Amino acid sequence: MRPHDDDLDDEIRGHLAISIKERIERGEDPASARLAALKEFGNLTLTRDSMRRVWRYGWLDAAEALGRDLRFALRALLRVRGLAATVVVTLALGIGANAAIFSVVRGVLLRPLVNRDEDRLIYIRQSAPGIGAENMKFSMPEIGDIESRATTVAAFGDFSTVDFALTGLGIEPRMVKAGVVNGSFFDVMGLRPVLGRLLNAKDDGKDAEGAAVLTYRFWTTALNSDPTVVGKTIRLGVRSATVVGVLEPSVPYPTDTEIIANVVTSPHHLGATMVTSRTHRMTDLFGRLAPGATVEAARAELTAAYAGVVRAHPEAYSPRANVELKISRLRDQIAAPARTILLVLLAAASVVFVIACSNVANLILARSVRREGELAVRAALGAGPGALRRTLLAESLVLCTAGAVLGVVLARPLVAVVAQFAARFSVRALEVTVDTSVLWVGAALAIVAAVLLAYVPRLPSPQAPAGLGLASGVRITPGTNRRLRIFATTQIAFSFVLLAGAAMLLTTLVAMQTAKTGFDMRRVVAFDVPSAATGVGIGDVDFYQEATRRIGGLPGVEGVALSMFVPWRDAGSFGPGIQFAVDGYRPADGEENPRARFRVVSPRFFAVVGVPLVAGRDFTDEDRRGSELVAIVSQSVAQRLFPNGEALNRHMWWTDPYFGGKPVPRRIVGVVADVDDESIVRGPSMAIYQPVRQIGVAGRLFVRASGDPYAVVPAVRRTIHDISADQPVERAATLEDIRADVLSPDRLNAFVVAGFAGIALLIAVVGVAGVLAFSVSARTREFGVRLAIGSAPRHLLARVLSEGVVIAAIGVAAGAVGGFALAGAASKVFEHVQLPGALPMASAAAVLIAAAVGASLIPAARASRVDVMQALRSE
Residue numbers at the binding site for another protein (CB under 8 A)? 1, 3, 7, 10-15, 17-21, 40-43, 46-47, 50-51, 53-55
Q: Return d(Cα 225, Cα 6) in angstroms, integer.
A: 63
Q: Return d(Cα 498, Cα 117) in angstroms, integer.
A: 41
Q: What's the min distance (Å) between Cβ of 68 and another protein?
A: 23
DSSP class of 56: S
Q: What's the min distance (Å) between Cβ of 9 and another protein?
A: 10
Q: What's the min distance (Å) between Cβ of 29 and another protein?
A: 17
Q: Return d(Cα 435, Cα 269) in angstroms, integer.
A: 44
Within 13 Å, how many C-alpha atoms sit on residue 320's CB side? 9
CB atoms within 10 A of CB 470: 15
Q: Return d(Cα 499, Cα 505) in angstroms, integer.
A: 10
Rank residues 54 and 272 by Cβ distance to another protein and give the closer one. 54
Q: What's the min distance (Å) between Cβ of 32 and another protein?
A: 16
Q: If DSSP codes are grouped into helix, strand and coil, which group holds residue 506?
A: helix
Rank residues 11 and 592 by Cβ distance to another protein and give the closer one. 11
Rank residues 49 and 134 by Cβ distance to another protein and give the closer one. 49
Report in angstroms the alpha-carbon separations of 762 from 88, 152, 607, 755.
Answer: 15, 56, 51, 11
Are 636 and 645 in contact, with CB atoms under 8 Å apart? no
Rank residues 50 and 513 by Cβ distance to another protein and give the closer one. 50
Rank residues 44 and 821 by Cβ distance to another protein and give the closer one. 44
Are 59 and 380 in contact, with CB atoms under 8 Å apart? no
Q: What's the min distance (Å) between Cβ of 50 and another protein?
A: 4
Rank residues 43 and 224 by Cβ distance to another protein and give the closer one. 43
DSSP class of 249: S
Q: Helix/strand/coil (H, E, C) string of 755-779?
A: HHHHHHHHHHHHHHHHHHHHHHHHC
Start-to-end Cα distance in the chain: 62
C-alpha gyration radius of the chain? 38
Note the Cα 660 to chain centre separation in Å.
43
Q: If DSSP codes are grouped into helix, strand and coil, which group holds residue 693?
A: helix
Q: Is the dihedral of CA 486, 492, 494, 500 positive or negative?
A: negative
Rank residues 49 and 621 by Cβ distance to another protein and give the closer one. 49
Q: Return d(Cα 779, Cα 792) in angstroms, integer.
A: 16
- Percent of the chain that is helix, strand, coil (3-state, to 5): 55, 15, 30
Q: What's the min distance (Å) between Cβ of 482 and another protein?
A: 47
Beta bridge partners of 193: 247
Rank residues 2 and 81 by Cβ distance to another protein and give the closer one. 2
Rank residues 40 and 172 by Cβ distance to another protein and give the closer one. 40
Q: Helix/strand/coil (H, E, C) string of 176-193?
A: EEEEEECCCHHHHHCCCE
Q: What's the min distance (Å) between Cβ of 21 and another protein?
A: 4
Rank residues 23 and 288 by Cβ distance to another protein and give the closer one. 23
- Spatial neighbors of 858 by CB under 8 A, at least 6 apart, are 769, 773
Q: If DSSP codes are grouped into helix, strand and coil, which group holds residue 53?
A: helix
Rank residues 45 and 514 by Cβ distance to another protein and give the closer one. 45
Rank residues 13 and 116 by Cβ distance to another protein and give the closer one. 13
Q: What's the min distance (Å) between Cβ of 1 and another protein?
A: 8
Q: Return d(Cα 376, Cα 413) in angstroms, integer.
A: 45
Rank residues 44 and 380 by Cβ distance to another protein and give the closer one. 44
Q: If DSSP codes are grouped into helix, strand and coil, which group holds residue 395?
A: helix
Strand 651-654 vs strand 666-672: parallel, antiparallel, or unpaired?
A: antiparallel
Bond prior to 254 in cis (omega within 30° of 0):
yes
Q: What's the min distance (Å) between Cβ of 53 and another protein?
A: 7
- Single-letter residue type at 405: V
Are 307 and 164 in contact, with CB atoms under 8 Å apart? no
Q: What's the min distance (Å) between Cβ of 13 and another protein?
A: 7
Q: What's the min distance (Å) between Cβ of 251 and another protein?
A: 58
Q: If DSSP codes are grouped into helix, strand and coil, which group holds residue 580?
A: strand
Q: Return d(Cα 811, Cα 160) in angstroms, integer.
A: 54
Are 233 and 241 in contact, with CB atoms under 8 Å apart? yes
Q: Return d(Cα 409, Cα 401) in angstroms, integer.
A: 12
Helix H segments across 212-329?
216-221, 267-270, 272-276, 295-312
Rank residues 19 and 777 by Cβ distance to another protein and give the closer one. 19
Rank residues 54 and 838 by Cβ distance to another protein and give the closer one. 54
Q: What's the min distance (Å) between Cβ of 15 and another protein?
A: 5
Helix H segments across 26-114?
30-41, 44-55, 58-79, 81-105
Rank residues 1 and 725 by Cβ distance to another protein and give the closer one. 1
Q: What's the min distance (Å) between Cβ of 34 and another protein?
A: 13
Q: What's the min distance (Å) between Cβ of 19 and another protein?
A: 6
Rank residues 47 and 791 by Cβ distance to another protein and give the closer one. 47
Q: What's the min distance (Å) between Cβ of 52 and another protein?
A: 8
Q: What's the min distance (Å) between Cβ of 383 and another protein?
A: 23
> Which residue in 671, 625, 666 sits closest to 647, CA to CA?
671
Rank residues 21 and 320 by Cβ distance to another protein and give the closer one. 21
Q: What's the min distance (Å) between Cβ of 69 and another protein?
A: 26
Strand 557-563 vs strand 524-528: parallel, antiparallel, or unpaired?
A: unpaired
Q: What's the min distance (Å) between Cβ of 26 and another protein?
A: 10
Are 803 and 856 in contact, with CB atoms under 8 Å apart? yes
Q: Return d(Cα 739, Cα 742) in angstroms, integer.
A: 5
- Spatial neighbors of 413 by CB under 8 A, at least 6 apart, are none
